[in-house]
Amino acid sequence: MTASKILLLIIDGVGDRPCDCLGGKTPLQAAHIPNLDELAKTGICGIMDPVAPGIRAGSDTSHLSLLGYPPQQYYTGRGPLEAAGCGIQMEPGMIGFRANYATIDDAGNVIDRRAGRIADTTEISAAIRDGVDLSKYGVTIRFEPGTGHRAALALKGSGLSAAVSSNDPKATGIPPKTIHPEGEDTPEAKFTADVCNEFCRQAAEILKNHPVNLARKAAGQNPANVVLIRGAGAMGVYEPFEERHELSGSVVAAAALIAGIGSSVGLRRVPVHPDTPLAEQVSLVLQELATRDFVLFNIKNADEYGHDGKAMEKKEFLEKIDKELRPLMEMPDLMIAVCGDHSTPCTIKEHSADPVPLIIHGDGTRTDHVSSYDEISCAAGALCRIRGGDLMPILLDLIDKTHKYGA
Ligand code: ZN
Ligand code: ZN
């Protein structure tokens, strides 16, 4: 029997380097992960350079690569992908931005870049979406809240450019910056900078005396009274996943960036909150797999422990993930690929180009002698060392979906 469905399970930032506090082992080597080890033992293993050897992939460029969209050809910046991940219907040419709420004092200086860690910005985001009027520029906006103090903005209109700077001062005690052309000095960049500055001005005006902020002030909390935008990018054109790979698909991801990459290529976006328990996320994945051919499931947090240099916590989190995988392993008719989107070694607190360990598991795959899931064991596997762009073709072949090349 050949499987007909694919689960691509990406443990964000899973790869690592030897850590002193783990006796010279990587978090994966040190972790007790019997389910992942079983997948390794009964599947075929290897290591993978998400983009190419020596390239320190970001989560965005890596996910594009793994989904079969070469980032060199498709990547246009983080903004439009975040915007799509927050639920904005991005159309080619629209300019997307990451946004976040912050607090300014009466003198106009930023005093809190996270607006008192405001938890829910639904209401004030709606006020901005409905209240900001850029019609004199011939521009319309989309604005959606993200998790916590985060949000996303998109501009639609003609003559727009993504070559603009950010108003984020990246420090407190100083006012937000004026946005200006960046990277190119064209009339379009100048026009877009003007549009952005006007958006920020009107947004601050709306936020100033908004009931949500008056209530926050009364409660001694920092108001969300300014919007900082960054990461401008023009939305690209993506061949739909279903046409490219002949598979229907969904994305289950707590990170807006990843959900946005999925929806940009045409996967159905199943939003989960970063605090959604893993077991619940797994049931959502199973639900999607019941009706779809492909699910991209990104598990956040291992990456964050890497960025924080917390090797022990990363190991423990990997153990937590392992405990929840059983229902996925028991699903019939499924080809499972487990990997990371890049390594985030606790020793350097950043992404590195170290290849990530990979398992492919499902009926009919060859098996090798690898019996544990970690960076070193998998390097001895029969998949050897592949690139991220090789993954989809290999998976499609294993579910008999590739077409013969030649006679
Ligand atoms: Zn990542
Ligand atoms: Zn990261």
- Nearest ligand, measured from the Cα of 50: 1
Closest CA to 45 of 374, 393, 297: 374
- Scan for tokens 């978090």, then name that residue: 27
- Ligand whose nearest atom lies closest to the CA of 340: 1
**pLDDT at residue number 212:** 97
| DSSP H helical ranges for 309-402 | 311-323, 326-329, 375-378, 388-398
Q: How far is the CA of 50 from the centre of ligand 2 (A)?
A: 14
> Helix, strand or coil for residue 66?
helix
Separation of 308 CA from ligand 1 center, angstroms?
14
Provide the whole-model pTM: 0.93
| Ligand with smallest separation from the Cα of 342 | 1
CA of 202 to the centre of ligand 2 (A): 33
Please give the average pLDDT of every successive group of 10 residues along the chain, which has 407 residues. Answer: 95 98 98 98 98 98 98 96 96 96 97 95 98 98 96 97 97 97 96 98 97 97 98 96 98 96 97 93 98 97 97 98 98 97 98 98 96 98 98 97 93
Beta bridge pairs of residue 229: 99
Neighbours of 196 (CB within 10 A): 26
Q: 307 CA distance to ligand 2 centroid (A)?
A: 6
Rounded alpha-carbon distances, angstroms, from residue 396 to 246, 248, 388:
9, 13, 14
What pLDDT is recorded for position 271? 85
CA distance 146 to 203: 16
